[in-house]
Structure 1
Amino acid sequence: MQPLPLIATLLAALAVWAPAATVKDREGAVRGDKARLENDPRWNWNDIDSGFRLAKATGKPLLVVLRCLPCMSCAGIDASVLEERELAPLLDQFVCVRIINANALDLSRFQFDYDLSFSAILFNGDGTIYGRFGSWTHQKDPLNKTTASFSKALEAGLAIHKGYPANRAVLSGKQGGPTPYQTPIEFPALAGKYQSKLDWSGKVVASCVHCHMIGDAFRAYHRSQNQPVPVEWIYPQPSIETLGITLATDEIAKVEAVADGSAANAAGIQAGDIFTHLAGQPLVSIADVSWALHRSPDSGSLPATIVRSGKETAVTLDLPAGWRLKSDIGKRVGTWPMRAMAFGGMKMDDVPDEERTTLGLDKSQMAMRVFHVGEYGPHSAAKKEGFKKDDIIIQVGDQKQRLTESALIGHLLQHHLPGEKIPAVVLRGQERLEFKLPQQ
């Protein structure tokens, strides 16, 4: 069994290696938010319980916004949600709660894309989830302040609230599933290091459980139990692009493009179609689409309802075996600890076709160039085995076929356990070398 201290060390090392841009004064950002919003008339600041109580008392729906303040990502939309006057009439119809740390989140209720630094969940006061919001468009561009998709999510949530509780049955798929622990700080990788409340008298940022650490803790939990990491935790909240659909970023779920030869193309989905339901669930945002996919089977049928030319139509998407492996997880902060688990701390990418030709490599074979080799803690394991930057890995175990970095991570974490060392073949210049790829 993988020793738990090593898993905890791996998670601690993430703070060094994760390439997430942060504000210069992290402490100041957190303390400034408290000073500014602690007594704000609209926002119940960092107090979920009072938000639920108020929602029950008033009959209003509850909007919980989760924001990682030290992170630069999503700073634009966060500012808009707090300051944009056009949003005020919508926000006034909700009980609004702002949460800036994940320490005491009830994980039975708060299941969302933990790699985002700005997320929102729409609730009924009794805890029933109406929908989720979170934008990778904003995540990738800190200056993006557009709120069109957020406004539409709020409007859709209000419509669901108006039909509640008669529509309770169709909301069942939106509710969270079982978790091994109720709160993040109960996970072994976090227990004892963090408390339920922030340390305002000390270093407040250091006392904060960030949302991405929840996903890290889930994966570390399975790894510490000497189990494969479940595929839904390797590729969490997958984009519908894995099925060949590109959605418009300023709409709830409007199809912008469909890839030829994709599952969506086979189902007859067309540009301009609007998804209203997926897996039986009413949608309020693209994040809702990802949630439905997160809870979908590894293969099988996925029912959907679309509107085309004003007419509602039922369609069925076929989920081919291994569909999640098409997910690109390369820019997720949660992928960095997985790189330590699967690659010993390396970051790599597929060698493009034109370069393969000059290297004499076939287009169908594995050829992964190493762009980064870690030097500290669990991220230094590959370096200790002899791997170097610019190595080209052409075989790992029995895997020789062309794979993306994301797909290779998934294969290794599902089929190999901590402590294993997998034979790997490497091209280094004109040399063909063999090393052992450590699994942690």
Structure 2
Amino acid sequence: MRGVNLNVFDFDYDLEWAALFMNACEKIYGRYGSRDADSANGRLSLAGFRYAMEQALAAHGRETPQPEPRTPQRTVEQFAAARRVKDHACIHCHQVLDFEHERLSQLGQWRREDLWLYPLPENIGLTLDIDQGNRILRVDADSAAAASGLRAGDVLRQVNRQPVASIADLQYALQRAPAKGQIELAWERDGKAHATPLMLRDDWRVSDISWRASVRKIGASPPVYGEDLTLAEKKPLGLSAKHLAFRQSPFVSKAARQAGIQQNDIIVGVDDKDLQMTASQFAVYVRLNYQTGERAKFNVLRDGRRLGVTLKLPASPAY
């Protein structure tokens, strides 16, 4: 990301892969690339990529290219945190978010809400067609989208005047939506154009962010790591299918080892809380609910015994 103008190349920096469709004057016609906690590529397809490209080309053909207003140059090197990265070392996309989180924290302006980036269509009750990213496959009952009158088969055209041809386009529009209030939708049904507002509900941006690399620099560092137990492994332990349970890996961190955590310990909770989540979600839970230096009791199963191992939570590593 060195030297890249972030005001032009503005996208979800946590993604492993993303594309922007633009002309020589740096006008952005659309975006492609999305993911969720379940899969890095489950929302991608060649057909969907082609469709988004075709819509971008159509938009380009409808206008006479004009130079875009000069966009102020904003680069990752301008962040103070970037100066700690060795010269000529790569600065990865997700580090843009890491550096921004650090900047806001130092100014006392960081908010927990800043972590809920690029909300998915499901956050407003929509499931979109992967092969045609603006076609609605399903509308969740009692959702904000249902209340706005959308139905399966409708085609989104704009959200808050942002053209939509892909899931990424919708996410880009939702990223810029207010925390409360409404957004304006333009859509088609059976070839007929419609427009309607969609009322945003409380906490509508919240979703599973356990996949995001930028979260790993937030809060206290979870000192335990491992693979989730399977349902077959949980059953004889008396644990439900979604109950937290993961086996400590062969690498035991210094903080965990000094507190008494051992390889193959099964972590089932913290401070006796009943947690329904995966190991990755647990790591985010610790980061969001505990501070560096705070003491926490990890609930552990070892050789059929339930133990409580208390340790002081270390800080997340800095650049």
TM-score w.r.t. structure 1 length? 0.56
1:288 to 145, 149, 169: 169
- Residue 324 of structure 1: SS of its match in structure 2? coil
Q: Which residue of 1 aligns with 2:98?
A: 216
| 1:136-175 alignment, distance < 5 Å | 136=35, 140-141=40-41, 147-164=46-63
300-309 or 402-411: which moved more? 402-411
Structure-2 separation of matches of 1:256 and 1:332: 26
Q: Could you tell me which residue of structure 2 aligns to residue 423 of structure 1?
A: 296
> Over residues 49-89 of structure 1, what are the superposed CA-to-partner deviations in whole Å (9 max), with x where a residue is unaligned?
xxxxxxxxxxxxxxxxxxxxxxxxxxxxxxxxxxxxxxxxx
Counterpart of 2:117? 236
Amino acid at match of 1:215: L
Contact 2:184 2:198 in 1 (8 A): yes
Gaps of 5+ in 1: 1-101, 199-206
Q: Which residue of 2 aligns with 1:103?
A: 2
- Structure 1 distance, partners of 2:221, 2:167, is 30
Query: Would the aligned equivalents of 2:210 and 2:284 in 1 still touch at CA under 8 Å?
Result: no
8 Å Cα contact 2:82-2:99 kept in structure 1: yes
2:80 matched to which residue of 1? 188
Q: What secondary structure is seen at the aligned counterpart in 2 of 1:156? A: helix
Q: Check whether the contact 2:300–2:307 (CA below 8 A) recurs between aligned residues.
A: yes
Change (3 A) 1:249 1:208: same
Cross-structure match for 2:208: 328
- CA distance 1:439–1:223, change in 2 (3 Å): farther
Q: Distance in 2 between matches of 1:415 and 1:222?
A: 19
Letter in 2 for 1:149: G
Going from structure 1 to structure 2, the CA distance change for 1:160 and 1:342 (only over 3 Å counts) comes to farther
CA distance in 2, matches of 1:189, 1:224: 11
Is the Cα contact below 8 Å between 2:229 and 2:246 reproduced in 1?
Answer: no
Residues 157 and 241 from structure 1, CA distance in 2 versus in 1: closer, same or farther, beyond 3 angstroms? Answer: same
Distance in structure 2 (CA, Å) of the matches to 1:390 and 1:273: 47
1:21-48 deviation line (CA, Å, top 9, x unaligned): xxxxxxxxxxxxxxxxxxxxxxxxxxxx
- Number of residue equivalences: 308
Q: CA deviation at 1:112?
A: 0.6
Give the deviation of 1:148 after TM superposition.
2.4
Q: What amino acid sits opposite 1:140 in the alignment?
A: A
2: distance between equivalents of 1:374 and 1:189?
32
Distance between the aligned counterparts of 1:360 and 1:414, measured in 2? 25
Query: What's the CA shift for 1:276?
Result: 0.8
The answer on whether the counterparts of 2:16 and 2:40 sit within 8 Å (CA) in structure 1 is no
Aligned 8 A contact 1:374 1:383 in 2: no
* 1:435 and 2:304 aligned: no
Separation in structure 1 between the aligned mates of residue 83 and residue 135 of structure 2, nearest angstrom? 42
Alignment partner of 1:390 out of 266, 277, 288 = 266
What is the CA-CA distance between 1:357 and the residue it aligns to? 9.8
Which one-letter code corresponds to 1:368 in the other structure? L
Counterparts of 2:85 and 2:5 in 1: how far apart (Å)? Answer: 18
SS at match of 2:14: coil
Which amino acid is the alignment partner of residue 282 of structure 1? P
| Aligned residue in 2 for 1:113 | 12
Change (3 A) 1:331 1:240: same
Amino acid at match of 2:46: T
Q: CA deviation at 1:392?
A: 0.6
Structure 2 counterparts to residues 41-440 of structure 1, below 5 A: 102-136=1-35, 140-141=40-41, 147-164=46-63, 182-195=74-87, 207-223=89-105, 228-232=110-114, 234-325=115-206, 327-338=207-218, 341=220, 343-344=222-223, 346=225, 355=234, 359=238, 367-371=243-247, 375=251, 381-382=255-256, 384-387=258-261, 389-395=265-271, 402=276, 417=291, 419-421=292-294, 423-424=296-297, 426-428=299-301, 429-433=304-308, 435-436=310-311, 438=313, 440=315
State how far apart, in whole Å, the 1-side matches of 2:208 and 2:174 are.
15
Q: TM-score, with normalisation over the residues of structure 2?
A: 0.73
Structure 1 residues 356, 320: closer, same or farther in 2, change over 3 A? farther
Q: Do the aligned partners of 1:373 and 1:387 also contact (CA within 8 Å) in 2?
A: no
Contact 2:119 2:171 in 1 (8 A): yes
* Counterpart in the other structure of 1:47: none
CA 1:416/1:226 → structure 2, altered by over 3 Å: closer, same or farther?
farther
Inter-partner Cα distance in structure 2 for 1:104 and 1:127? 15
CA RMSD of aligned residues (A): 4.4
Assess, with a 3 A threshold, how the Cα gap between structure 1 residues 369 and 261 changes in structure 2: closer, same or farther.
farther
Q: Distance in 2 between matches of 1:193 and 1:425?
A: 34
Judge conservation of contact 1:351–1:367 (CA < 8 Å) in 2. Answer: no
AA aligned to 2:294 is K
Secondary structure of 1:265 counterpart: helix
1:290–1:351 CA distance, 2 compared to 1 (3 A): farther
Deviation for aligned residue 1:158? 3.1
Distance (whole Å) between structure 1 residues aligned to residue 129 and residue 98 of structure 2: 30
SS of the aligned residue for 1:306 comes to strand
